[in-house]
Amino acid sequence: MKTILVTTDYSSDAQNAVHYAAKLAAYFNAKLLLFNAFQMSVHTSNAFMSPSAVDHMIANNEERLNELGNELSQTYNIKVTGITYVSMVDEELSMLVKKHHVDLVVMGMQNDLTENKLLGNTTTAVIRKADFPVLVVPFGVEFHNIEKILFARDENAIHEKDKSIRLLKEIAEGFKADVEIFHVEKMPVKQTDELTEEMQEDELEQVLKGTHHAYKMTNATKVADSIVDEIKNYQPDLLVMIPHKGTFMDRLLKRSITRRMVMETQVPLLALSDIREKEVAHT
């Protein structure tokens, strides 16, 4: 992992994610891109402000971002670059990820339990559209060594060449973490020996070769509830999922259960992109 991008609007939840990302960058000796999408308030947009006044506001925002970047650089001994645009966050991220060869985007979760504040509208929108890995950091969760990773996967297979899955391996190897691959079936659970033999033929097994990992399967009618229960049982430091379009992870992003997964359990969520959907999109 060479480049990490973290978004900030200077709110408490965003600042929490910023420091998490900075410590992660220090751990991997990666550079940190500090991104702020500067947005005019409704009052400011409706006011008759001169171009010079608007330029002054933008300059002040850039100065604030640079001050934060300098503080992070000195505190964590990392290289930090500030980037700001007058735009919406989700409109610029894909471009920035490609331009700066970003390996991971880090975002905070709003500390707001209102039903309509699922992960924060911006964070949810980014996860559902992103073709890059996004790490969501719950408010109040501080960075510490990742000892256990829970990879909750669905029925979709994994492509060995998928770069985002290799990021999971890099994190696991970097922290020498244990990985549990948790699979929920709506059919009766298979025997352990059948499961092991089947999984060993999976491309995921080839990707994770060399890491300390194990498989676990259960059957349940409510997939999301099973994942929440496994989080509480396994006590991971990181939850990993792939939000395939049309599958349970995609549906969870539309419902409050995702907040229950991450906010209640206080576990960072790493949402990986799916290479097959990118391939389909380009055909």
pLDDT digits (tens, 9 = 90+) for 167-180: 999 999 999 999 99
Structural domain ending residue among the three candidates 111, 137, 163:
137
Is the residue at 51 inside a domain? yes
- Looking at residue 252, its pLDDT comes to 56
Structural domain ending residue among the three candidates 137, 168, 194:
137
pLDDT digits (tens, 9 = 90+) for 237-248: 999 988 755 555
- Looking at residue 238, its pLDDT comes to 96
Host domain of residue 240: 148-281
- Looking at residue 205, its pLDDT comes to 81
Q: Supply the DSSP string of 155-203, one letter for each residue.
A: SS---TT-HHHHHHHHHHHHHT-EEEEEEEESSPPPPHHHHHHHHHTSH
Residues 48 and 159 in one domain: no
Nearest Cα to Cα of residue 41 among 61, 20, 63, 18: 61
Task: List, in sequence order, the alpha helices (H) in the chain.
Answer: 12-28, 42-46, 51-76, 89-99, 121-129, 163-175, 192-200, 203-207, 223-234, 248-252, 257-259, 275-281
What CATH number is associated with residue 129?
A: 3.40.50.620
What band does 37 get if pLDDT is binned at 50, 70 and 90? confident
Phi, psi angles (nearest 5°) of residue 180 = -110, 120
Residues 91 and 164 in one domain: no
Residues 86 and 163 in one domain: no
- For CA atoms 156, 28, 267, 114, the dihedral sign is negative
Distance CA(216)–CA(269), nearest Å, equals: 19
Residues 69 and 153 in one domain: no
Is the residue at 195 inside a domain? yes
Residues 194 and 96 in one domain: no
Structural domain ending residue among the three candidates 137, 169, 193:
137
Is the residue at 40 inside a domain? yes
**Average pLDDT estimate for 18-31:** 97
The total number of structural domains that make up the chain: 2
Is the residue at 177 inside a domain? yes
Residues 94 and 30 in one domain: yes
Tell me: pLDDT of 91 over 90.
Answer: no
- Looking at residue 245, its pLDDT comes to 55
Is the residue at 245 inside a domain? yes
- Looking at residue 235, its pLDDT comes to 94
Angle CA(14)–CA(32)–CA(136) in degrees, nearest 5?
A: 40
Residues 68 and 166 in one domain: no
Nearest Cα to Cα of residue 32 among 85, 68, 86: 68
What band does 32 get if pLDDT is binned at 50, 70 and 90? very high
Tell me: pLDDT of 117 over 60.
Answer: no
Q: Find where tokens 């992992």 sit.
A: 1
Rounded to two decimals, the pTM is: 0.83
Is the residue at 142 inside a domain? no
Residues 22 and 96 in one domain: yes
pLDDT digits (tens, 9 = 90+) for 209-219: 889 999 888 88
Is the residue at 143 inside a domain? no
Is the residue at 153 inside a domain? yes
Tell me: pLDDT of 31 over 70.
Answer: yes
